[in-house]
Amino acid sequence: MTTKKTQRRYPDRDWDYKAISTIINDNGTKRDVYYLTLTQKGKKKESVEIFTGANYIVGSKDKSNSRHYELDKLPAKYKSTVEQLKKVYKATKWSSAKYVNEN
């Protein structure tokens, strides 16, 4: 699985976004799946975002679409991918930099 790490930190607002993503092929449609955590004012939330289409995936001719799911509402077909992303997330060494984008 090829993954990408994204991090956005805004210490002045006590806001920290960390995500691990991968692109999957779902019946011919490429989907960019993100497992993320967002910490705001000391409270951490886990969720999943799924993106499709030309606005999000280079070379896609599909209609652009995005969906946000809480972990308990995640469709079953994405659970395996998200479990793999969570393992990568836990093994990741996060930066103290404000912005990070790494493949």
Predicted confidence (pLDDT) at residue 100 exceeds the cutoff of 90: no
Distance CA 7, CA 21 (A): 11
At 2-53, the pLDDT tens digits run: 999 999 988 777 889 999 999 999 888 899 999 999 999 889 999 999 999 9
Q: Is the pLDDT of residue 102 over 80?
A: no
Q: What is the pLDDT of residues 64-87, one digit of tens each?
A: 999 999 999 999 999 999 999 999
The residue ranges of every structural domain in the chain are 4-90
Residue with more model confidence, 97 or 40: 40
pLDDT band at 103 (very low <50, low <70, confident <90, very high): low
Please report, for residues 43, 51, 77, the alpha-carbon distance to residue 101 in angstroms, rounded to integers and kept in the order given.
Answer: 23, 17, 27
The DSSP output letter for 62 is S
